[in-house]
Amino acid sequence: MSKSKTEKEPVKKNKRRGKPKKSLQRYFDAEHGIRNHWWPALFSHEVAEDDVKGITIAGERIGLRRANDKIFAFRDQCVHRGVRLSAQPTCLTKETVSCWYHGFTYNLKDGMLSDIVASENDPLIGRTGIRVFPAEEVGGVIFVFVGDEDFDTPPLQDDLPTYPDESKRIHSPRLQDDDALALGIHRKCIGDWRLAAESGGDPGHIMIHRKSALVLALDTALSLGEPVSGETSLLVNDKGWPKSVTKYNDNIEPVMHREELNIHTYGKRVPEGLRVSLCLPSTLFVENWPLPGITQYEWYVPVEKGYHEYWQLLVKDCPTEMDKEDFTLRYNTVWEDLALKKGFNDDDIFAREAMEDFYNNRNGWDEEQLFFMDKFIVEFRKMVHKHARGVQPPPDEL
């Protein structure tokens, strides 16, 4: 007996349960992050001369000190009694950082214990120390390389997004450009860093932004999705560094209206030159957004289990002081709230938090049922599994 059109087959559970973990094991093992990569730590202006600031990246407690306008990064934990050096910054010389508790003093370049205030001739001096991390500044952002001490540190450029090819229709600036001015925010958010990265690059989630203040203010038409029969144009760059997955919109007819569901996009302006890339270690690179000539960067930096540091930057090439003044004014009065906070990206934060219970408490990694547009996410998972330089262990194993 045939079934009626209104009678549906029951949804079949994924018979391949467990297979994704087997085929992409390194990705699913990386809940604490991936290692041997460069991560944003703080904005340059957040660490003043002779100041010490403490952060956590992938469970690693890291201290940052600026001395003679150079940034140094080190393990933020005294070898004596384990207190965080950044809890009460103490810098007695330009070459060292000292523990505020008993005066254990470490050389900034190599981390060696060079003195103890309470015991200047102590035999422990010169025999122990704290770990140091490579650190660099680009575009007003401090980056720290987190990984194995004996790992051959790659150049920072290898972990900064660039254009996936030379077919740029409209130039979109990069953080590493000479005239680039980067303005933005970072904030600690609930959520697994992997889910945050997948959500940021997810091409099928624009529905949640349909009525956002940014979209309405710019009169922008953002596609609701793509037809299942379409050809999603994905470029996977895995032949060199940086590694990236890029989505093109050139060869598809986007879905702007669904009559049967009574839903449609708002706005008439189709974004020019908009392209989205997701790069290792977890960097979203959105060309010509929110307007042509501006690039949005996002990083989803693992902090500790269930939390990530959400970085959001807008970058524009500003060759003159007037250009810098104009972009800064527009960022402070318009873009920060409208593009990076309640006008747009706060919707993404809400969505990531909504996924947490399913993935971390209810076996979501196995139970998820992905659809056509999730090819982008799958390619990112493959890229991390295949090309991540290491998987970060739990904090108690560091």
What HEC string does 27-74 produce? HHCCCCCECCEEEEEEEHHHCCECCEEEEEECCEEEEEEEECCEEEEE
The residue assigned the tokens 């205030």 is 117
Closest CA to 190 of 286, 83, 102, 308: 308
Distances (CA, A) of 30 to 21, 52, 101, 319, 366: 11, 29, 35, 40, 15
pTM of the model: 0.92
pLDDT in tens, the chain (398 residues): 444 433 444 444 444 444 455 689 999 999 999 999 999 999 999 999 999 999 999 999 999 999 999 999 999 999 999 999 999 999 999 999 999 999 999 999 999 999 999 999 999 999 999 999 999 999 999 999 999 999 999 999 999 998 877 655 678 999 999 999 999 999 999 999 999 999 999 988 888 998 999 999 999 888 888 777 666 678 898 888 999 999 876 666 788 888 899 988 888 888 888 899 999 999 999 999 999 999 999 999 999 989 999 999 999 999 999 999 999 999 999 999 999 998 899 999 999 999 999 998 889 999 999 998 899 999 999 999 999 999 999 988 87
**What totals of helices (H) and strands (E) does the chain contain, helices first?**
8, 19
DSSP-derived secondary structure letter, 171: -
Q: Where are the domains of the chain?
A: 49-54+61-132, 154-397
What topology is assigned to 154-397 in CATH?
A: Naphthalene 1,2-dioxygenase Alpha Subunit; Chain A, domain 1 (3.90.380)
User: Dihedral sign, CA of 294, 295, 296, 297?
Assistant: negative
Closest CA to 323 of 177, 215, 186: 177
Q: Does the fold of domain 154-397 match that of domain 49-54+61-132?
A: no
The residue assigned the tokens 């906070």 is 341
Structure tokens at 84: 């965080």
Domain 49-54+61-132 classified CATH 1.10.3720.10? no
